[in-house]
């Protein structure tokens, strides 16, 4: 009787082992079949959803996993870097100007134009107390930009408090190639606040020639 029980146990154990082997074999066959199906889908240009939510696809004859949740176009990253670099450069320039040209000694000189018929500017020289501090030669494009309403910063510097004479000398051409050389002067009293001057170049219809005037802006 004991031997029969042992034999039954051995037979049951053997059956369980066979069942386990068949299950593993069946799973292996199923996995291989799924793999063949996936490969067929890739070769056919299809996409496969992976268990982790990613997508397996074929591109340029190479299968790879694309994770959409972390995707970020390279062009957007480059544009963001350019924008950050421009903002940083602007902040550095502002900081540099604040350090080199403090408000209590700062002076700025700008040029604006409302001409086109009686004057085409070729060059300008700026002098403070008889000393030349800035010069500029104008191209056709720069003249055109000024005539369309642009404003040019001709000079940025430091000036101690007290009385100073600012002089601008212009060279250009009028109708028929007529050469002009004109000057304009302004005496200012520099105080502790920044000084901003605008030199206005205008056509005078009455005089049929350009005029040059200084204007001091209050900041």
For all residues of the chain together, what is the average pLDDT? 75
Q: Which of 61-65, 111-115, 141-145 has the lowest mean pLDDT?
A: 61-65
Per-residue pLDDT, 204: 80
Q: Domain residues for 182?
A: 103-217
* 213 and 109 within one domain: yes
Q: Which residues pair with 173 in a beta bridge?
A: 120, 179
* 153 and 85 within one domain: no
Per-residue pLDDT, 27: 46
Check whether 201 has a pLDDT greater than 60. Answer: yes
How many domains is the chain built from? Answer: 3
pLDDT tens per residue across span 99-121: 787 888 899 999 998 876 788 88
| CATH number for 196 | 2.60.40
Check whether 10 has a pLDDT greater than 60. Answer: no
* 107 and 97 within one domain: no
Check whether 5 has a pLDDT greater than 50. Answer: no
Per-residue pLDDT, 169: 95
CA distance 23 to 169: 99
Residue 218 DSSP label: P
* 92 and 138 within one domain: no
* 149 and 128 within one domain: yes
* 66 and 116 within one domain: no
* 161 and 147 within one domain: yes
Closest-CA residue to 199 (of 186, 211, 214): 214
């Amino acid at each position: 009787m004991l031997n029969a029980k042992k034999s039954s146990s051995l037979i049951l154990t053997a059956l369980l082992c066979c069942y386990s082997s068949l299950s593993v074999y069946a799973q292996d066959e199923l996995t291989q079949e799924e793999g063949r199906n996936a490969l067929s889908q890739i070769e056919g240009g299809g996409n496969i959803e992976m268990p982790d939510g990613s997508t397996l696809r074929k591109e340029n004859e190479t299968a790879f996993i694309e994770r959409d949740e972390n995707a970020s176009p390279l062009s957007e990253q480059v544009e963001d870097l350019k924008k950050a670099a421009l903002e940083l450069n602007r902040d550095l320039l502002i900081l540099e100007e604040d350090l080199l040209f403090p408000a209590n000694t700062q002076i700025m000189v700008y040029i604006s134009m409302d001409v086109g018929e009686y004057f085409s500017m070729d060059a300008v020289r700026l002098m403070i107390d008889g000393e030349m501090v800035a010069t500029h030669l104008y191209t056709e494009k720069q003249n055109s930009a000024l005539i369309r309403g642009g404003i040019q910063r001709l000079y940025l510097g430091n000036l101690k408090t007290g009385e100073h004479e600012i002089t601008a000398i212009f060279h250009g051409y009028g109708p028929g190639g007529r050469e002009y050389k004109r000057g304009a002067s302004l005496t200012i009293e520099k105080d502790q606040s920044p000084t901003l001057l605008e030199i206005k170049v205008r056509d005078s219809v009455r005089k049929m020639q350009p005029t040059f005037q200084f204007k001091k802006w209050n900041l």
